[in-house]
Amino acid sequence: MIRAAPPRLPAPPREPLLPMINVVFLLLIFFLIMAQITPPPPVEVTPPETGRDAEVAAEDGAAILWIDAAGGLAHLDARGAAALDAVAAARPESVLIRADAAAPATRLAEVIAALGAAGITDLRLVTLQREEVAP
């Protein structure tokens, strides 16, 4: 006696991948559009080192004033005295001063005095944490 082959069950339907790929690409495009690209610093500076952790993170509402090794000032696209005037005119909540370690201390004192005279009282000097070496 010959037996008939059992009936084949239909294959389960495959999940379509195209809608999932579309969603992934839409999310990728969304995040690329919403991302903020940080502009490069206007001047290269090497912050001074300190013995304790004093690295200051940029906060919302804080302006960044750069002082290069020669004592030149920069803020966004403004250079020199115009940079100091731009920071004072912006009336930020706080100012981060990113000074080069080789910048003259007298220049830093002049900048602090000028910002204080403009009514800006929250000033922060950005430094790097020095690696402590055990004796």
**CA–CA dist 98, 85 (Å, integer):** 17
Q: Which whole number is the average pLDDT over 112-120? A: 89
Amino acid identity for residue 18 in this structure: L
Is this structure's pTM higher than 0.85? Answer: no
- Residues 124-132, mean pLDDT to the nearest whole number: 73
18: left (phi over 0), alpha (psi -120 to 50) or beta: alpha
pLDDT (0 to 100) of residue 53: 41
63-79 pLDDT, tens per residue? 888 899 888 999 888 89
Query: Per-residue pLDDT tens for 13-28?
Result: 787 888 889 999 999 9
pLDDT of residue 54: 40
Q: Is the pLDDT of residue 38 over 90?
A: no
Residues in the chain: 135
What is the Cα–Cα distance from 30 to 34, expressed in whole angstroms? 6
Backbone phi and psi for residue 9, each to the nearest 5 degrees, phi listed first: -80, 145
Report the distance separating Cα 89 and Cα 94, nearest Å: 13
Q: What is the mean pLDDT of the chain?
A: 81
**Residue 42 corresponds to which tokens in the numbers above?**
């206007």
Compute the average pLDDT of residues 75-89. 88
